[in-house]
Amino acid sequence: MVTIKESPCLEWFQADPYGKSRINELFAQLREEINNADPEPPKPEKGARSRDRRPSRAWLTPLGDRNGNGILSQQEIDQWLGLQQQLIHGQLLVSIYSGGGLFELLDTNHDAALSIRELRNMWQNLESAACTADSHVELQQVPQVVLFVVSQGYPDQLGRRTTTDVEWFRLMDRNRDGDVSRREFTGSPAAFDRLDQDHDSLISPREAARQD
């Protein structure tokens, strides 16, 4: 059993800031599909198969028909969608990911991959977890990693996404590891060297924002 006091690698993820925007995006898509759907599906003639593949909103009529007239108005559609959105935003899902050791300790952004920066900071992270002795790693001292994820709906991924508004940086960071390497950079070598202020062969979001 790992408690907050015992494990230096216990981490808390606050409510997913991307989950809410994702839910809003899905609701906008659902609203468009419902508005563009046929009120009632066409009834095929006896012995014939209907070739109309367009979606129908007939399933929504008994759910959203508030006045009971058998006809679904646009106002009733909007009211039903608004109610569903309120219900989902009022629920939080707590996911607990327990287990793992060395890899989970080094994968600091929890995207199931080790980036160049994570590999470079490997020894520093091991030292901070108190599982090194002289010049080697004490594997038996590697702590267990426990993640608490609070999200609206099922979390899409645990990896922390790049937090920058610099558009060219987001486009060049093709592997989404939060840095732009020389291989990903599409500008000139001189431009890369100017942006890479700490000369570690990686452009960080902070460096990109400073020079944007």
Domain check: are 190 and 154 in the same one?
Answer: no
Give a yes or no: residue 92 inside a domain.
yes
Nearest to 2 by CA among 119, 98, 135, 112: 98
- What pLDDT is attached to residue 4? 36
Give a yes or no: residue 119 inside a domain.
no
Domain check: are 149 and 199 in the same one?
Answer: no
Nearest to 162 by CA among 113, 109, 104: 109
Domain check: are 54 and 153 in the same one?
Answer: yes
Across the range 16-44, mean pLDDT stands at 70
Beta bridge partners of 151: 93
Give a yes or no: residue 9 inside a domain.
yes
Average pLDDT, the chain: 78
Beta-carbon contacts of residue 48 (< 8 Å; ≥ 6 apart) = none
Distance CA 91, CA 164 (A): 28
Residue 199's CB is within 10 A of a number of other CB atoms, namely 7
Give a yes or no: residue 27 inside a domain.
yes
Domain check: are 84 and 1 in the same one?
Answer: yes
Give a yes or no: residue 108 inside a domain.
no
- What pLDDT is attached to residue 17? 45
Distance CA 10, CA 202 (A): 28
Domain check: are 155 and 171 in the same one?
Answer: no
Whether this prediction's pTM lies above 0.75 is answered by no
Domain check: are 40 and 60 in the same one?
Answer: yes
Domain count along the chain: 2
- What pLDDT is attached to residue 8? 44
Q: Is the pLDDT of residue 207 over 70?
A: yes
Domain check: are 67 and 155 in the same one?
Answer: yes
Q: Which domain does 171 fall in, by range?
A: 167-211
Among the residue ranges 18-27, 69-78, 106-115, 135-144, the one predicted with the least confidence is 18-27
Cα separation values, 24 from 3, 27, 89, 100, 161, Å: 35, 5, 10, 34, 18
Q: Is the pLDDT of residue 155 over 80?
A: no
Give a yes or no: residue 113 inside a domain.
no
- What pLDDT is attached to residue 129? 85
